[in-house]
């Protein structure tokens, strides 16, 4: 996947689900449920239990075309392992050495940044898009302010994004929004009600995207 392909997919999906699981089996079930109920882009955080194994097993189940990525990628080794596990993209919490490492390996990267200086650094290092994190510190007005000097940078706000905030960020020009616990709940931490997760997915997509 090229960086342009990745950006295009984010803009089309508008919703990136973030899974950080304490139970590998439950995390895998969560990922599969998200895709089966219409979420087209999912990030599995490497800070979760056996996250690389979850990515590898999900990739086997989903096939090569699903937009499944690795989050909390911090180092060159993380980038290598994410790629080997089948991640189609990487997400970093900041501008670390992993950004250039992902670019060099042909892995599109969504790099975390908050300030204008960090946004410029992320772009310079080769980020395909910028994860505005933690977005809750400034909200949609801050995103609008950042887009003035960076009109061509695709931003994906992450952190404290519920349905109401998601609508505001998208209206302010975000390429997509990244959503964790308001969508996932605790479903990735142990055997739970996947039907309830599916219901949250349908409601969330309906509320922010106008479709299920």
Tell me how far apart the terminal alpha carbons of the chain are, to the nearest angstrom. Answer: 26
Q: List the structure tokens of 111.
A: 């790099």
Q: Which of 2, 49, 61 is nearest to 23 (CA)?
A: 49
Q: Distance between CA atoms of 69 and 85, rounded to whole angstroms?
A: 10
**76 belongs to the catalytic site:** no
- Looking at 61, 76, 104, 131, which residue is catalytic? 131
Q: Which of 132, 121, 53, 120 is nearest to 91 (CA)?
A: 132
- Looking at 43, 118, 125, 207, which residue is catalytic? 43
Specify the 3-state DSSP secondary structure of 51: helix
**61 belongs to the catalytic site:** no
Sign of dihedral through CA atoms 189, 190, 191, 196? negative
Q: Tell me the catalytic residues.
A: 43, 131
């Amino acid at each position: 996947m090229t960086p342009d392909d990745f950006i295009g997919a984010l803009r089309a999906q508008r919703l990136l689900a973030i899974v950080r699981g304490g139970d590998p089996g439950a995390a895998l079930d969560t990922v599969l449920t998200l895709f089966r109920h219409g979420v087209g882009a999912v990030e599995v955080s490497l800070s979760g239990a056996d996250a690389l194994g979850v990515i590898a097993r999900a990739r086997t189940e989903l096939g090569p075309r699903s937009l499944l990525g690795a989050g909390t990628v911090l180092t060159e080794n993380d980038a290598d392992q994410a790629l080997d596990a089948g991640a189609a993209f990487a997400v970093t919490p900041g501008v670390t050495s992993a950004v250039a490492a992902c670019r060099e390996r042909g892995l599109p990267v969504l790099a975390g940044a908050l300030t204008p200086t960090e946004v410029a650094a992320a772009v310079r290092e080769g980020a395909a898009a910028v994860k505005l994190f933690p977005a809750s510190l400034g909200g949609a007005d801050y995103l609008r302010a950042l887009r003035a000097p960076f009109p061509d940078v695709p931003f994906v706000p992450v952190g404290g994004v519920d349905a109401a905030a998601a609508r505001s960020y998208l209206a302010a020009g975000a390429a997509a929004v990244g959503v964790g616990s308001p969508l996932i709940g605790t479903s990735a931490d142990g055997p739970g009600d996947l039907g309830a997760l599916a219901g949250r997915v349908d409601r969330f997509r309906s509320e922010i995207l106008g479709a299920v």
